[in-house]
Amino acid sequence: MSHTVVTTRTTTTTTSSSSADGGFLNLGYIRTFPGLLKLAQVVTLLIAFLCIHCAPGWTDLSAFRYFEVVTLWFLIAFLIFLLMYILRLQSKIPCINWTLTEFLHYAVGTILVFIASIVAAVKSGGHSALVAGSVFGFIATFLLAISLWTSYKVTCGSQPTSAAV
């Protein structure tokens, strides 16, 4: 009668996260270029919204309401994207293509914030707060265009044309 001995060896490895804090939060994302860009967009849109919202003496109510709605909508949208990356939610909800979703928000946001900034600049009538709001709208448009370009390179970048057999 022969006996066979089977030896099983288990190896456990621990990998640390790329962020400084490790677990639940990814605060290291804010120090990256996309994180700083999202943070700058949120702050710029907030300043643009507050400049228009707190300005007295609107000459054209509908034009500035449009500016407020557009800036507040994309402020909330990009704040959600920022929090999503900080809380690592994009990996917990894989059923959504986050890069494409973000690209489409940047495309629509760039166009609408640019239009709202032009309308606010034209209708400002020399009021300094309204002019400041439209200037911050143009700055936000520039930041959104940079994010649109960088997310375009990620989303629609060059794809391999042939498959290896």
24-66, pLDDT tens digit by residue?
788 888 889 988 999 999 999 999 999 999 888 776 778 889 9
Chain centre distance of CA 117: 19
Buried b (16+ CB within 10 A) or exposed e, 44-58: bbbbbbbbbeebeeb
Average pLDDT over residues 55-79: 87
The C-alpha atoms of residue 46 and residue 129 are separated, in whole angstroms, by 14
| pLDDT reading at 126 higher than 60 | yes
Least confident of 14-28, 101-115, 149-163: 14-28
More confident residue, 118 or 16: 118
Of 114, 102, 116, 112, nearest to 142 by C-alpha is 114
Collapsing DSSP to helix, strand or coil, 4 comes out as coil
SS3 content of the chain, % helix, strand, coil (to 5): 65, 0, 35
Instruction: Name the pTM for this structure.
Output: 0.76
Of 61, 71, 75, 55, nearest to 117 by C-alpha is 71
Say if residues 136 and 51 touch (Cβ distance below 8 Å).
yes
More confident residue, 112 or 57: 112
